[in-house]
Structures are given as structure tokens and as C-alpha cells.
Amino acid sequence: MLMRTDPFRELDRFAQQVFGAATPGTWSKPAPMPMDAYRAGDEFVVCFDLPGVTSDAIELDIERNVLTVKAERRPLPGGDDVRMQVTERPLGVFSRQLFLGDTLDTDRISANYEAGVLTLRIPIAEKAKPRRIDVASSRSDRKEIQA
């Protein structure tokens, strides 16, 4: 269904833990977004956590079974009298690519964004659904037993 190939993800997490986030008031580097993926009946569901992102700042593209999700978390509006005390939430563009298998119908993907969670529903392709195959028999296969 879903092939996950992101060999540098753990390295990025480690580097962010060691070196910390970007300095206050600056944009952080692109980072992966957490996700859950599961099969529910005849569809594959993928949920991305995108808190603080508006729906107009989310882009979805698919090309050759590669789904790319990009989202931008922008800084809060402020003025000259606003001085940040703590900035732990990373800002900037976040992206994630998923390599989708041929068993998914990428022409019918639906997307919904609610409460900071982007949910994608990808139907299982008809050719990948289990089906019953009838077995035909021919009478020539039977051997007559003579008494």
C-alpha cells in the first residue's frame, strides 16, 4: 500500500534535539510532519498533524504515485510592541513525500482539514480488491469406474 523511504528522518530528529530549533523570529528549516496511516475497509487513510496551519497554506501534489504534502506555518501577526518570550513552535515550510503503491486509486484521493489534522482518503483500486475466481471443471477430467 504505502512505501516509506525516508532514511534521514531519524538523523534530522537527532540534529534538531542536539542543535535546537531556529533562533526566535527566524524561519526554521523544512521538517517532516507526523502522520498516521491505516487501511479502513476499501480505502487507505493518512492523517498529518498540522497544528497552526491554515487550509490555504496546504498544497497537495501527486506525480507518478508520489504524493507530496507541503504546509507553511506562518508567524503570528505582531507589532513593534510584541516581544516573544518563548518560541518553540517551528515556522516555515514543512513537506513530506509518500510513495504510494499501484494498488491505490490515486485519481480519487479526497482531502479534509479539521482541527489541525489533514486527512487524506485514498480508495483501494478495483484491481487490488480481493475477488472470487470460479473454477470450471470439464467432464473429461473425470475417470469412469467400471465394475
Each of the 147 residues of the chain gets a pLDDT tens digit; together they read 555 555 666 666 666 656 655 444 444 454 568 999 999 999 999 999 999 899 999 999 999 889 999 999 888 777 788 887 887 788 889 899 999 988 899 999 999 999 999 999 999 887 766 778 889 888 765 555 565
pLDDT of residue 130: 74
Query: Rounded to whole angstroms, how far apart are CA atoms 7 and 11?
Result: 8
pLDDT of residue 26: 47
Quote the pTM value: 0.66
* CATH of the domain spanning 1-11+30-75+90-126: 2.60.40.790
Domain regions of the chain by residue span: 1-11+30-75+90-126
Contact 119, 97 (CB under 8 A): no
Three-class secondary structure assignment of the chain: CEECCCCCHHHHHHHHHHHCCCCCCCCCCCCCCCEEEEEECCEEEEEEECCCCCHHHEEEEEECCEEEEEEEECCCCCCCCCCCCCCCCCCEEEEEEEEECCCECHHHCEEEEECCEEEEEEEECHHHCCCCCCCCCCHHHCCCCCC
